[in-house]
Amino acid sequence: MAEGADGASGEQHDQAEGMKAKANQYFKDKDYDNAIKYYTLAIELNSENAIYYGNRSLAYLRTECYGYALSDATKAVELDKKYIKGYYRRATANMALGKFKAALKDYDTVVKVKPNDKDAKMKYQECNKIVKQKAFERAIANDELKRSVVDSLDIESMTIEDDYTGPKLEDGKVTLKFMKELMQWFKDQKKLHRKCAYQILVQVKEVLSKLPSLVEITLSEKESITICGDIHGQYYDLLNIFELNGLPSESNPYLFNGDFVDRGSFSVEVILVLFGFKLLLPNHFHVLRGNHETDNMNQMYGFEGEVKAKYTSQMFELFSEVFQWLPLAQCINSKVLIMHGGLFSEDGITLEDIKKIDRNRQPPDSGPMCDLLWSDPQPQNGRSVSKRGVSCQFGPDVTSRFLEENKLDYIIRSHEVKPDGYEVTHNGKCITVFSAPNYCDQMGNQGAYIHLTGSDLKPIFHQFKTVPHPNVKPMAYANSLLQMGMM
């Protein structure tokens, strides 16, 4: 990965190279934050070196700061038009952001310069295929109002074979007995019968489609709720949460704050268990949409591939329909607002505005729906361009104004890995909770969940470590462009 330098002269040049060498070592040790820090110092000493930007771009890719990665890769190719790795990295960042046409352009450049590079050729073809597929989907969508997958299913006539010994719905209904059997069945790495999976999806779509975009609940003095952040297909860690904190029930309600799927390779198991509990306890088990309950993300980060491997593409289409009905935010006792990403790119948005969002669609590139799924807090006041390349970053002043205007106490959001599993920022007004410990088997972070009780709504944090899982690597079903893109 490391290469030589050009640009600045003498002492500065040597210092910059020293910083780069340090950064390369941190990168090798997977300490990407320190790698970024030292690449930045190298750039400050010599801002004309394309490789420093290219290397920092790669470190940003690894920390999912796709907006920053894109900007660094662009700077690298501006400084050196022949710097092929710069085009590669920019393409990877664009792919991660679902900007397939822009990615294709860069892969095209790489293939022209390196016609015999098998990897480049494969990426170009794969990306080209996606661009064509997207164009085809748009054409169909314009031709006719898309029929629901539910209309083309005949679940009643699906037979459950005699040799299937797994859990089945009782008279077509989810029961606690079914849920316990299902969790064990999945734990043993077995597959739920497709008929049962379809029954759950059709029923949960019905339940979710009746909910508003902003769900409001009231906890009495003595009632409490457990709030969990991203799970990302880490099924065995989800089971551990239920082990530590008790199974969901009317007296033990839960809220899962988006990003149930993708990356971890047990996303199907996670989502079917969560949806099963939603059916069992419609008023005491809550699920909100994350930025990964979307087609673009599922296509890249593994959920689509996993559903197709375990079931069919038709089932993925149904998942996609169901995801569009997931509510976008939840308010507890008119005091605590919970969403996956964060606050808005502009002031003046009210709870009423959130209620009015037409959510039954893929999220747009900007606006309140996009912000709820994608934005992140920042330590300084004001707003700035997102490190992710989507939505924005918002400061403590933005949070404070929003809370005041809407008579709220604080917000809880997820969306970012935190070493301790949670983080309290913006003077205690913005809380992040993340529930996928040792994220992607490599981050070493703890997971956490939050208890809130109606009497004081004071957040109590519970941390937990990862548990072993079967030997299926994260991203096993991800798009090959992402698996190999980060050379």
Average pLDDT, integer, range 145-158: 87
For CA atoms 375, 379, 385, 386, give the dihedral sign. Answer: negative
Residue 442: predicted pLDDT = 87
- Give the pLDDT band of residue 8 (cuts 50, 70, 90): low
- Give the pLDDT band of residue 64 (cuts 50, 70, 90): confident
Other C-beta atoms lying within 10 Å of the C-beta of residue 283? 8
Residue 485: predicted pLDDT = 41
Tallying the residues shown for the chain, one arrives at 487
CB 72 within 8 A of CB 60: yes
Among 15-19, 59-63, 70-74, 189-193, whose mean pLDDT is lowest?
A: 59-63
Task: Evaluate if residue 449 carries a pLDDT over 60.
Answer: yes
Residue 142: predicted pLDDT = 62
**Could you read off the pLDDT of 431-440 as tens digits, one per residue?**
999 999 999 9
Residue 119: predicted pLDDT = 86
Residue 487: predicted pLDDT = 38
Give the whole-angstrom CA distance, residue 206 versus residue 174: 14
Question: What share of the chain in percent tops pLDDT 90?
Answer: 86
- Give the pLDDT band of residue 206 (cuts 50, 70, 90): very high
Q: How far is CA 450 from the centre of its chain?
A: 19
Give the whole-angstrom CA distance, residue 194 versus residue 203: 14
CB 449 within 8 A of CB 226: yes
**Could you read off the pLDDT of 395-408 as tens digits, one per residue?**
999 999 999 999 99
- For 319-347, letters b (16+ CB in 10 Å) and e give bbbbbbbbbbbbbbbeebbbbbbbbbbee
CB 359 within 8 A of CB 328: yes
Return the structure tokens found at 241. 């949460």
| DSSP-assigned beta bridge partners for residue 381 | none
Average pLDDT, integer, range 88-101: 91
Residue matched to tokens 């969901």: 248
Average pLDDT, integer, range 373-386: 97
CB 300 within 8 A of CB 482: yes
Amino acid at 157: S
Mean pLDDT, the chain, integer: 94
Domain ranges of the chain: 11-140, 151-486
Q: How many CA atoms lie within 13 A of 203 on its CB side?
A: 21
Give the whole-angstrom CA distance, residue 388 versus residue 367: 16
CB 486 within 8 A of CB 92: yes
Residue 484: predicted pLDDT = 43
Residue 450: predicted pLDDT = 98
Task: Identify the three-state secondary structure at position 288.
Answer: strand
Q: Which numeric CATH code is attached to 151-486?
A: 3.60.21.10
Give the whole-angstrom CA distance, residue 155 versus residue 200: 11
- Tell me whether strands 383-385 and 392-394 are parallel, antiparallel or unpaired: antiparallel
Among 126-135, 360-369, 460-469, whose mean pLDDT is lowest?
A: 126-135
Average pLDDT, integer, range 63-70: 93
Average pLDDT, integer, range 449-462: 98
Residue 137: predicted pLDDT = 77
CB 77 within 8 A of CB 90: yes
Among 306-310, 445-449, 480-484, whose mean pLDDT is lowest?
A: 480-484
Task: Evaluate if residue 361 carries a pLDDT over 70.
Answer: yes
Burial of 244 (0-12, 13-18, 19+ CB in 10 A): exposed
**Could you read off the pLDDT of 248-285 as tens digits, one per residue?**
999 999 999 999 999 999 999 999 999 999 999 999 99
Burial of 63 (0-12, 13-18, 19+ CB in 10 A): middle
Residue 483: predicted pLDDT = 54
Give the whole-angstrom CA distance, residue 449 versus residue 451: 7
Average pLDDT, integer, range 123-149: 81
Catalytic residues: 292
- Give the pLDDT band of residue 145 (cuts 50, 70, 90): low
Residue 109: predicted pLDDT = 94
- Give the pLDDT band of residue 9 (cuts 50, 70, 90): low
Residue 342: predicted pLDDT = 98
Superfamily of domain 11-140: Tetratricopeptide repeat domain (1.25.40.10)
More confident residue, 441 or 3: 441
Which of 255, 240, 223 has its CA nearest to residue 456?
Answer: 223
With both helix axes pointing from N to C terminus, report the angle between 118-143 and 100-113 in degrees, rounded to the nearest 10. 150
Task: Evaluate if residue 373 carries a pLDDT over 50.
Answer: yes
Amino acid at 169: L
- Tell me whether strands 224-228 and 254-257 are parallel, antiparallel or unpaired: parallel
Task: Evaluate if residue 448 carries a pLDDT over 70.
Answer: yes
Residue 190: predicted pLDDT = 98
